[in-house]
Chain A
């Protein structure tokens, strides 16, 4: 069965520090990959997505992610974190095999220290 793993449940970083959130998936083929951010009590906002092409994807709010097929990973990065980035981050995968649905990781909660 398809699965998405976000190994870090909670990460704390200082404002201005760099950030990397990890995401690994298990599928046979290249899936469609997404990162969403969710503030408390809010819906999901799409940060970026990868369908094909350049493996380094730029998103909103200064985020980027890199697809590495050999590692089955799609890690999210930001060079300098702002206090407003504190939120829950979800990696999600569409297997592209006719499933027509997203499978989510369990999420990583990001806390930012001023």
Chain B
């Protein structure tokens, strides 16, 4: 089945040690998103790629970066994780045409990041 896969499901990292989360998709969707979700809160958009175009939300900390080497893969890099970055990170995809025609959104199962 076509899907969005996030690895790993659980990630423990040390305070200040760079960490990378990965997302892959078999849907061939042109838009990929990274959301941060803290406990008992709604998902918060960090950034998204429309094809190769990177779009950063204004309030996303500089500590967070992203890479999309090809259509199928997208990575979230946290350069120096702090305790406040502990959260569930959700990857999502969608398909849009330039005329605005769109498909729905598909989410991965998430990666739960713990910072120790």
Contacts and interface: CB of A to CB of B under 8 A. Distances in A.
Interface of A: 32, 34, 36, 41-46, 49, 90, 92, 94, 96, 98, 100-102, 104-107, 109
Given A94-B102, A96-B100, A98-B100, A42 B109 contact: yes
B43 A44 contact: yes
B105 A46 contact: yes
A100 B31 contact: yes
> Chain B: interface secondary structure?
strand
13 contacts: A36-B107, A43-B109, A43-B110, A44-B107, A46-B105, A49-B104, A90-B43, A92-B105, A100-B94, A100-B96, A102-B45, A102-B92, A107-B41
A9 to B, nearest CB: 9
A32 B102 contact: yes
Interface residues of B, number: 26
A46 B104 contact: yes
5 tightest A-B contacts by CB? A43-B109, A104-B42, A44-B107, A43-B110, A43-B107
B87 to A, nearest CB: 12
B21 interface: no
